[in-house]
């Protein structure tokens, strides 16, 4: 049986830090993990980052009660369409499972980010399904 976890993921454009502080207060949420773009290995980017870009949130996990919520800053303009700020992150254990899930969800939909290895995951991609729901497919490192 495959292991799969689905988590709501809020993608913002430079407002993630403010949103995190807001959710800490409004939901009594606790930050479990936080990483900025600047914390990523330098070879992850195809160009040097500005100081402002380095401060953007690459990934944050907050916990409110028994629920986790992911919050991050997208690349500028990537999630600026209404309804695209909230996606579902599907976390799986194996790249084969990620590929199968990604290919199944893209049927009748569109590829937002091709499934590929990235510094934080051996197989990561984003797809919008035929119902305009955005899914991030994330493979955990072994």
pLDDT tens, residue by residue, 7-48: 999 988 888 999 999 999 988 999 999 999 999 887 777 888
Angle among Cα 54, 55, 56 to the nearest 5 degrees reads 95
Residue 132 carries which DSSP code? S
| Cα distance between residue 47 and residue 50, in whole Å | 9
Q: Residue 95: what pLDDT?
A: 94
Q: pLDDT (tens digit, 9 = 90+) per residue, 99-117? A: 999 999 999 999 999 999 9
Distance between first and last Cα of the chain: 17
The strand pairing partners of 137, in sequence order, are: 90, 125
Question: Binning pLDDT at 50, 70 and 90, where does residue 80 land?
Answer: low
């Amino acid at each position: 049986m495959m292991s799969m976890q689905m988590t709501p993921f809020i993608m913002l454009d430079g407002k993630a830090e403010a949103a995190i502080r807001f959710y800490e207060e409004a939901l009594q949420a606790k930050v479990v993990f936080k990483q900025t773009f600047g914390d990523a290995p330098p070879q992850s980017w195809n160009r040097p980052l500005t100081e402002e870009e380095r401060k953007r949130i690459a990934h944050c996990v907050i916990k409110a009660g028994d629920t986790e919520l992911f919050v991050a800053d997208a690349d500028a303009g990537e999630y600026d369409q209404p309804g695209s700020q909230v996606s579902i992150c599907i976390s799986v254990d194996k790249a084969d499972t990620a590929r199968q899930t990604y290919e199944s969800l893209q049927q009748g939909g569109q590829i937002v980010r091709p499934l590929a290895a990235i510094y934080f995951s051996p197989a990561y991609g984003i797809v919008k399904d035929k119902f305009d729901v955005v899914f991030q497919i994330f493979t955990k490192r072994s």
